[in-house]
Structure 1
Amino acid sequence: MLKLALLFLVISIIAGIFGFSGVSAATAGIAKILFFIAIVIFVVLLIMGLMAGKAIF
């Protein structure tokens, strides 16, 4: 997921350099959305891992 976000970020930067502002804005938005989805998935899995590690005896 983070690889896709990084890919879209690079595409956005390259499009911005060449003057394609519409494409640049769209790919930057996609990269931002993918980054936040990856962060949410990371936090959910981190919480699940911490909960699974605590066994009540």
Structure 2
Amino acid sequence: MRAYPANWLYEEMAFIAHHFHWSHADLVSLEHRERRRWCREISRINRTLDGVPANPFDV
């Protein structure tokens, strides 16, 4: 089993913390799948607010 790269973990945690202001303890308690899900949801919200299509090939 490969370890999840630490820099990716920190990027995901910083991304969620920036948007939701969650504590370090809250962030490290998230399971990988849940943390990735929150990142996808935040990204979806940001795309919607910015008027960017979910699929960049949609015109």
Report the TM-score when normalising by structure 2.
0.41
For CA contacts below 8 A with separation 6 or more, give which structure has more relative contact order.
1
Judging by fraction of residues, say which structure has more helix: 1
Q: Based on CA coordinates, which of the two structures has the bigger radius of gyration?
A: 1
TM-score between the two structures when normalised by the length of structure 1: 0.42
